[in-house]
Structure 1
């Protein structure tokens, strides 16, 4: 029998949380009045502004806007303003090329939905300079993914990986997005699934159904509903990233400032359907305790009371831990878990070829029958490198 634990009895803790000084920066950028000023004083007296981590640097535009609104004067304000302007310019370029893609897809009859920074700037931040973006994220229906990829390539967008048609179909089947670079050098992430670990054909139906119309540069598109947006932001922030994942906190606060009463019942339901109540309970508790967000107690209680399997606990702990702490085995297992989930419901035969297909995918083999030979080759090469010392090294005794 599967082992089940109560969230109340066994809270899951993420390693992926801000440091005290990063938290002070977030509070200075997001809160108001005495709380924001106190956090600002704590942060500026403790850090070297010339040597900030990338995650903190991304928050400087938001800090600049909040300090300016409160009438704070400081010699570094011009520096913060400069970061704001650079962010504004880069985002204008991303939106220009992203809107071009949205137009091409719309003209081809392919629906689109903005994700992450693009959606949040349009709906919550309302200023291109406040929220840093590495790329422009746009979602298309799963069944239109291959057509959308070909359309982008036709318009001279270069994909991150140049797959053969056979491997591309396997990639789309098992993954959630593919990165592209525009002719002018800007990045776009084309998604066909919202979440990277839920990649079955109909896993996004409720996200599409709960979305609402919007526009980007006058082009029709869609945006996730507030509850869905909050879920996406929190779950994306739960995954460890070498750049400190501070933006999910700012994004969540901006969502709740814009939509103070999202459909909480829907959020709990979506979290349960995707076995993510542990991650959402911790994220919302953190926002409530550290950023004064009015998360209803019954929502936290419902999430905490949901039984959590051993696998969900381990998967969450692995995803939120630095790669160096996971080790190769746990990282491999995590990716395999996500792959297995994408294969569920695809027929009885799929159960027998799930692991070989996973190896075919990560090794980028054209055909499934190539996997055993490639595995043998890799094993022989590894044994050879272990047995034969590099030239000039000491002989094995």
Structure 2
């Protein structure tokens, strides 16, 4: 049965800390902070590292550094390497998108435009720069009722589907499977998400986020994007275990989108942080989202992150949040109930738990 993520907060868990070294913090500052601060961080980073032996994750940030600092002033050899990484990232993302684009179009025909999730969904946040960050995968979200059509779309566009058995389809349709994954012969990877918020059993929560999604075009394909406030909720909640630099980049980019006027998407920058906080409270997730914003703020001092954090501070703790944070022997039951109560209250959550129990019995 879906429950809240184990990493959210258990009875013995400590405040989360990002797995980010001191030199990686400098590189993140060079990639994300305003020009003068970024240039200073870039110089400090260059002085602290061996460019021939970079730590894991550093190379992936160089495209953002090149975008943030047009004049790198690191010497011809390093400047050339950084620009080369940016070009390789752009080319790799283009190849991946070209492989997945027929599937996106086919899904639009059989199930409606899919919801595009980060990292690809962040292209607008980086002003359309396809070389800012390597994607590695394309992540799409669809409604579980579309499972048969999605399997057909995968098969008709050349993705292997042998692992998508009738039993797996039944479990997915019942809301018991969070995602599908497929890899083509060239190693391109696509992920189909059936739950927007990992471990949240409430279908109402997913429907609320989908219902507020915005229609747009990415790479000439028609897709939906989560409203910026909901996208920040999704990224914070679905955080990786290491809370690493790639995730921090995504959180900062999305927090900044809350404060950017986007009239074509109907986004009011003055209401962005408040809308984010309201959604977090209605889902009962304010506590863990606050903790994760603190993680980001500890690594990078960004006003947009602080604004989102302050908006959460202005909300009151709701019944659902109190439920999932129950300590001791009842913690597991509390998290399960809270996950199903997200967006629909305690009574709706109890009904959702019973629905899932019935669904499990039917598909066994």
TM-score by length of 2: 0.77
Alpha carbons of 1:150 and 1:53: their partners in 2 closer, same or farther (altered >3 Å)? Answer: farther
- Out of 181, 197, 200, the position equivalent to 1:198 is 200
- Out of 269, 272, 289, the position equivalent to 2:281 is 272
- Are 1:43 and 2:49 counterparts? no
What is the aligned partner in structure 2 of residue 105 from structure 1? 107
Alpha carbons of 1:36 and 1:219: their partners in 2 closer, same or farther (altered >3 Å)? Answer: closer
Indicate the SS of the match to 1:134: coil
Find the aligned partners of 2:46 and 2:190 in 1 and give their Cα distance. Answer: 35
What is the aligned partner in structure 2 of residue 139 from structure 1? 141
Indicate the SS of the match to 2:235: helix
Find the aligned partners of 1:193 and 1:140 in 2 and give their Cα distance. Answer: 8
Find the aligned partners of 1:313 and 1:62 in 2 and give their Cα distance. Answer: 41
Find the aligned partners of 1:169 and 1:176 in 2 and give their Cα distance. Answer: 13
What is the aligned partner in structure 2 of residue 345 from structure 1? 351
| Shift in Å, 1:218 | 2.4
Retained in 1: the 8 A contact 2:147–2:172?
no
Indicate the SS of the match to 1:128: coil
What is the aligned partner in structure 2 of residue 291 from structure 1? 301
Alpha carbons of 1:174 and 1:110: their partners in 2 closer, same or farther (altered >3 Å)? Answer: same
Tell me how large the CA RMSD over aligned residues is. 3.5
Indicate the SS of the match to 1:203: helix
| Shift in Å, 1:134 | 1.4
What is the aligned partner in structure 2 of residue 281 from structure 1? 290
Indicate the SS of the match to 1:230: helix
Structure with max Cα Rg: 1
Q: How many residues align?
A: 327
Residues 6-34 of structure 1 show CA distances to partners (whole Å, capped at 9, x for unaligned) of x9xxx962033422221111001111233
Residues 135-179 of structure 1 show CA distances to partners (whole Å, capped at 9, x for unaligned) of 1111112221332123212332114x7143123321452222111
Find the aligned partners of 1:303 and 1:186 in 2 and give their Cα distance. Answer: 42
Find the aligned partners of 1:21 and 1:254 in 2 and give their Cα distance. Answer: 21
> Unpaired runs of 5+ in structure 2?
1-8, 260-268, 341-348
Find the aligned partners of 2:140 and 2:293 in 1 and give their Cα distance. Answer: 26
| Shift in Å, 1:340 | 9.5
- Are 1:245 and 2:255 counterparts? no
TM-score by length of 1: 0.71
